[in-house]
């Protein structure tokens, strides 16, 4: 490498070090990792920080998105009145999750909606059969947002279903994440566009916007006619139907919601749509009707978070749930890379006598992240948690507390979901639904094996070394 180029990189590294410490004010541990990379691997550290570490080139963009979101969010129903309704109908013993609901309302601007009906899907085939059936019944609009949309049989079939409705005059709007769909050609959506549908990529990674790579839209939302909504972990691809042999069986969780909470999903979609398209779709009766049916009895909050948020709303919701637990905590996550606050919250719950069960994949899809996951799993195992490894790939993101309330959505229990990704979760305050999902968890235990301390302690030296090295990079994952 020419000496002048190396000198330029070293100077840039010094500038980046100053930015890390004095401008971006990253978490101390994350800042330390980046500083070590810049110091000991000058060229590699320079490139990694430029593409995955810095926030200066996206800060203004996300601040503008946050301002637009706040402006559009003002048009959602009167939040404080909804809190009064929820408080009036909540038993005295539900004060703990009333506090969670209040926090989500005040901090995350998440309206509380009553009268919802919720259905769990744990099989991808069942979810997509129902989704296609709902799409065929659409009369006014269908809004779709996915992180991954494969160009495979399922991806093409869903495009065909949407194209057919577009030809009938139904409004179709689609958002896909550019990184998640990097191998998905635009030609896949050409029939839909030709029929009048609109398709946009979220934060496209081009030469001009190459620094977008680290910030991904991990949300999975479908809204049909403002009355039916979908949210959860399943993307569009054959692997979500269990058709990837190396990760089979694939276990995931998705929700179908009917009721007022769908308006919150719709508002979230329209905020993202305005950001990617510049088209400010009216938030009137057509898209956020006030006369939505209330077919059930389930209170729900839809909570979103992302790099455009000043706080980590979903993570704070998880911590609030864990801190309020007195009996049991059930967790399912494909990746376990908690920060210190979440890790300590789980440990404190364990030390307080709460029965903590954590279910992780038995088959990894990302080796480095899995090594970090197993390192944290071992630490929690030593603290007294029970760790279970699912016999396949577990992609479900769920937490149930005290058989009373739960959260399911797109956010993994890792720092990428909390800090870098755009995520959305449903917080469900209903003991019946909590117990229903506990039964599902128990069924999953039958297809899992418990990781015992003896097995964990007896793993080889190379594996221990690999886990320890990978964990050093946890703050920047």
User: Catalytic residue numbers?
Assistant: 218, 220, 225, 395, 397, 402
Tokens describing residue 273: 């749509």
Buried b (16+ CB within 10 A) or exposed e, 303-337: bbbbbbbeebbbbbbbbbbbbbbeebbbbbbbbbb
- Provide the β-strand partners of residue 76: none
- Provide the β-strand partners of residue 198: 173
Measured CA distances, 417 to 162, 279, 351 (Å): 29, 27, 26
Rounded-to-10 torsion of CA 238, 240, 242, 245: 70
* Strand 171-177, strand 198-202: pairing: parallel
Beta carbons within 8 Å of 347's beta carbon, 6+ residues apart:
380, 383
| Burial of residue 208, with CB atoms counted within 10 A of its CB: 0-12 exposed, 13-18 middle, 19 or more buried | exposed
The Cα 295–Cα 196 span in angstroms is 33
- Residue 232 contacts residue 225 (beta carbons within 8 Å): no
242: left (phi over 0), alpha (psi -120 to 50) or beta: left
Nearest alpha carbon to residue 181 among 220, 147, 143? 147
**CA 301 and chain centroid, separation:** 15
Tokens describing residue 378: 């071992």
């Amino acid at each position: 490498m020419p000496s002048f180029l190396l000198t330029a990189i070293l100077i840039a590294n010094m500038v980046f070090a100053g930015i890390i410490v004095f401008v971006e004010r990253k978490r101390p541990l994350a800042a330390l990792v980046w500083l070590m990379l810049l110091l000991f691997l000058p060229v590699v550290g320079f490139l990694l920080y430029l593409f995955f570490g810095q926030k200066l080139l996206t800060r203004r963009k996300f601040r503008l998105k946050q301002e637009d979101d706040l402006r559009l969010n003002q048009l959602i129903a009167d939040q404080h009145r909804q809190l009064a309704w929820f408080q009036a109908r909540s038993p005295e013993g539900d004060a703990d999750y009333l506090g969670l609901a209040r926090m989500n309302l005040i901090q995350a601007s998440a309206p509380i909606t009553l009268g919802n009906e919720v259905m769990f899907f744990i099989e991808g085939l069942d979810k997509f059969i129902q989704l296609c059936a709902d799409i065929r019944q659409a009369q006014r609009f269908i809004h779709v947002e996915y992180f991954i949309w494969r160009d495979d049989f399922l991806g093409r079939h869903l495009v065909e279903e949407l194209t057919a409705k577009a030809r009938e005059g139904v409004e179709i709007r689609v958002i896909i994440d550019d990184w998640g769909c990097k191998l998905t050609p635009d030609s896949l959506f050409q029939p839909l566009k030709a029929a009048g549908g609109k398709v946009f990529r979220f934060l496209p990674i081009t030469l001009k916007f190459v620094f977008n790579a680290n910030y991904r839209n991990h949300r999975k939302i479908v809204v049909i006619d403002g009355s039916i909504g979908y949210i959860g972990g399943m993307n569009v691809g054959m692997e979500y139907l269990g058709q990837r042999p190396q990760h089979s069986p694939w276990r995931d969780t998705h929700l179908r919601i009917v009721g007022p909470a769908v308006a919150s999903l719709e508002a979230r979609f329209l905020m993202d749509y305005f950001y990617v398209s510049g088209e400010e779709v009216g938030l009137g009766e057509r898209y956020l009707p006030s006369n939505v049916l209330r077919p059930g009895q389930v209170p729900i909050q839809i909570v979103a978070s992302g790099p455009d948020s000043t706080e980590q709303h979903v993570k704070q919701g998880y911590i609030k749930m864990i801190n309020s637990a007195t009996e049991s905590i059930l967790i399912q996550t494909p990746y376990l890379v908690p920060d210190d606050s979440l890790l300590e919250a789980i440990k404190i719950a364990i030390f307080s006598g709460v029965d903590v069960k954590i279910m992780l994949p038995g088959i990894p899809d990302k080796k480095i992240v899995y090594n970090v996951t197993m390192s944290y799993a071992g630490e929690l195992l030593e603290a007294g948690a029970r760790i279970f490894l699912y016999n396949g790939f577990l992609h479900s993101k769920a937490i149930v507390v005290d058989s009373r309330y739960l959260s399911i959505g797109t956010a993994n229990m890792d720092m990428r979901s909390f800090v870098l990704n755009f995520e959305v979760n449903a917080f469900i305050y209903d003991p019946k639904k909590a117990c229903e999902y506990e039964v599902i968890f128990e069924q999953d235990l039958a297809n899992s094996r418990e990781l015992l301390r003896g097995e964990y302690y007896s793993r080889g030296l190379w594996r221990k070394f690999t886990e320890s090295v990978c964990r050093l990079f946890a703050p920047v994952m």
